[in-house]
Amino acid sequence: MILHGYWRSGTSYRTRIALNLKGLTYDQAGVDLRTGDQHSDAFLALNPQGLVPALEVDGQVLTQSPAILEWLEERFPEPPLLPTGLGERAQVRAMAALVACDIHPLNNLRVLKAVKALNGDANDWAAGWIRPGFDALEALIARHGDGWAFGDTPTLADCCLVPQIYSARRFEVDVSAWPRIAGIEARAAAHPAFQAAHPDAQPDAD
C-alpha cells in the first residue's frame, strides 16, 4: 500500500489512524498542498480531483477518505471499526459524517484560502463551524460513548474526530469546553495507532 497524503491534512490523518488501527503496513508519499504538489501531472494521474488522500492498493487507486475507511473495514474486518448492530453502525457512520461532511470541508485549506481572499478571519470562520459540530458530538458521545466516541473501542467516528480536534487547536478553539471530546483526545494521545498517525510523526512534517 502507498498512501499519498499531506502530513497536516485531516483526511490523510484519519486514513492513517484507520490503517494503524487495522495493523496494516503502508508506505507514504508526501503531497505538499502548500506548494501545489496536488496539481502536478503525476498526482492528477492518480487522482483527477487533485485532493488527498489517495491510496494505491491491489492495483487500484482509492480516493475520498470515507470511501477508503469503508473499504478498509470491508477488506480487513479485524479489528472492527464498526459495531455489529445495524442501528449502532448507522450511529457511528452518522458521527463520522458529522465531522467529515459538516465540519471538516468548511475549514480545509481550499476553503480557508478563499476566506482569506475575501479578507475574512480564517480562525473565526473555522471556529464558527467547529463549535456547533462539537456541541452535537459531545451530546452524541454522552449518549453512546464509553471512553471513545461510540462504546469502549475506537471506531470510524474516532478516526474522524481526533484529526478534527487537532484542527480545532490549530484554530485556537478551546477543546476543554467539551470534556468528553477532550477525554477522547487524551485517550488517543496514549494509543499507539493514534500516536503513529499524528501529523508531527509523519516523514513529510515540517
Which pLDDT tens digit goes with each residue over 32-67?
999 999 999 999 999 999 999 999 999 999 999 999
Domain contains 113: yes
Same domain, 47 and 14: yes
pLDDT at 131: 97
Domain shared by 108 and 31, yes or no: no
Residue 109 has pLDDT above 90, yes or no: no
Global pTM reads: 0.95
Residues 68 and 113 both lie in one domain: no
- What pLDDT shows up at residue 103? 96
Q: Which CA distances in Å does 159 have to 42, 89, 122, 125?
A: 28, 14, 24, 23
In-domain check, residue 205: no
**Whether residue 48 sits in one domain with residue 92:** no
| Digit-coded pLDDT (tens) for 118-177 | 999 999 999 999 999 999 999 999 999 999 999 999 999 999 999 999 999 999 999 999
Q: Provide the domain count of the chain.
A: 2
DSSP element (H, E) containing 61: strand 60-63
Look at the block and give the residue holding cell 488517543.
Answer: 188
Beta bridge partners, 55, equal 3, 62
Last residue of a domain, one of 53, 78, 103: 78
The boundaries of the domain holding residue 173 are: 86-193
How far is residue 87's CA from residue 102's CA, in Å, rounded to a whole number? 21
Q: Which of 47, 78, 109 is the C-terminal boundary of a domain?
A: 78
Same domain, yes or no, for 91 and 163? yes
Among 78, 98, 133, identify where a domain stops: 78
- The CATH number of residue 55's host domain is 3.40.30.10
User: Does 108 have pLDDT greater than 90?
Assistant: no
Q: What is the CATH number of the domain that holds 96?
A: 1.20.1050.10
Longest alpha-carbon distance in the chain? 48
Mean pLDDT over all residues of the chain? Answer: 97
Residues 36 and 107 in one domain: no
Is 59 a domain residue?
yes
Decide the pairing of beta strands 60-63 and 54-57. antiparallel
